[in-house]
Each structure stands twice: as structure tokens, then as C-alpha cells.
Amino acid sequence: MPPNNLVNINISHIRDLTIEYGEGRGYPHVCRLLHLIEEIGSGLEYDENVTLYAAYLHDWGAFPHYLQTGVEHALRSMQVAEKEILPYTTLSKVAQQAVLEAIALHDYRDPRPADAIESLLLREADMLDFLGVVGILREFARGPNNLKVCYERALARRDKIAGRFILPRARVLAEVRLERMEILFANLKDESFDIL
């Protein structure tokens, strides 16, 4: 059954539910991803509807409304999209499958290749959003109230993502964001007297 008993779900409904369920972080993250997808996808042929729906739905499994303990968030997001959202949209079955694939493969920790361009765009946009100043601040926003823990987590995520980009434009943006991270990290260490 679709959320709020909606029978015909369009992207406006999905946007509103992302705002409602996303705890203040879901919708801004999607907006950043959509900008990044547009930028790194410039000149490439891809289905914009697939990337739009996938960007909105890719993290729903991490939202408290849908979260299931022990179920990885990408899998849970895919389950929610497959059962509760996509069947009630006007997307074709082929487009729905492409959305599900992009959701399933969006997490940088997933070792499977993202072969479809829509899946690759979502994954690389999501990885870019973990880099740069925004990436660092996302880690610190998660807490705990311990600079060292957040700093080390940001470093670890950066190290797992750096060098993994395939799309040429994503590589360029990643280099810029990595440089910004180094500057911010250096200032953080300096101002914390290397104690954090």
C-alpha cells in the first residue's frame, strides 16, 4: 500500500514524503545529488526520470519511517521503492527496474559494478556528496559530540571513496573536493592543537 493511501504517486508526492520522512537531511541530500548528476552527466545520454526517482528514493531505507534493523539501507530502500512506490507511478516497468538497480548499487561500499549510466551517475554523485566541506560536515552532523571520532570517520570515508570515480567530470569534481578536505582538515588540526 502506498504511503498516505496515494494511488497515483508522482515525483511531487515523493518529494513531499522525502521532506517528511528525511529528518531534515534527506531532501537537501537529494537536491545536492540532482545538481551533481546534472553536472557529471553533462553530455551523456541517460534517462533523467530514472535518475530523478532513484535520487529521491535511494535513502528511504535509512529514514526512521522505513528503517529495519539488520537490513542494509540500500536493500531496504529498494524494497520500499519496489513494493510501495514504483508500482503506483506512471514509470514503465523498464524504467522501474532501472530505478531499482540504481538504488541497489548506489552505496560506495557495494563492490558490484554500476554498469547502467543511471546507476553510475547516482553512485558517483552520492560519493561526491561525501567529499569536500559538505562531506566532512555530514560526518560531524551525525555525531557523537567527539571531534576525534568524527574526524577519523570522515578520513576513513574519504580514503574509501578517493580514486574510485569512473566518469571524467566526477573525477575532476572529486579532486577539487579532496583538496578542500585537506585544507579543512589542516585547519581543524591546527585550531585543535592537533588534539581534536
Mean predicted confidence (pLDDT) in 165-169: 98
Task: Write out pLDDT tens, residues 91-116.
Answer: 999 999 999 999 999 999 999 999 99
pLDDT at 4: 65
Check residue 7 and report its DSSP letter. S
Question: How large a percentage of the chain has pLDDT more than 90?
Answer: 95
- Domains of the chain in start order, with CATH, are 1-108 (1.10.472), 130-196 (no CATH)
pLDDT given at position 55: 98
pLDDT in tens, 32-89: 999 999 999 999 999 999 999 999 999 999 999 999 999 999 999 999 999 999 999 9
Band of pLDDT at residue 1, cut at 50, 70 and 90: low
Question: How much of the chain exceeds pLDDT 70, in percent?
Answer: 96
* Contacting residues for 12 by C-beta, under 8 A, at least 6 apart: none
Cα(40)–Cα(51) distance, integer angstroms: 12
The CB density around residue 67, as the number of other CB atoms within 10 Å, is: 13
Q: Compute the distance between CA of residue 125 and CA of residue 137 in angstroms, rounded to an integer.
A: 17
Kindly tell me if the per-residue pLDDT of 6 is higher than 70: no
Per-residue pLDDT at 5:
67
Q: Which residue has the cell 556528496?
A: 129
Q: What is the pLDDT of residues 122-162, one digit of tens each?
A: 999 999 999 999 999 999 999 999 999 999 999 999 999 99
pLDDT at 22 over 80: yes
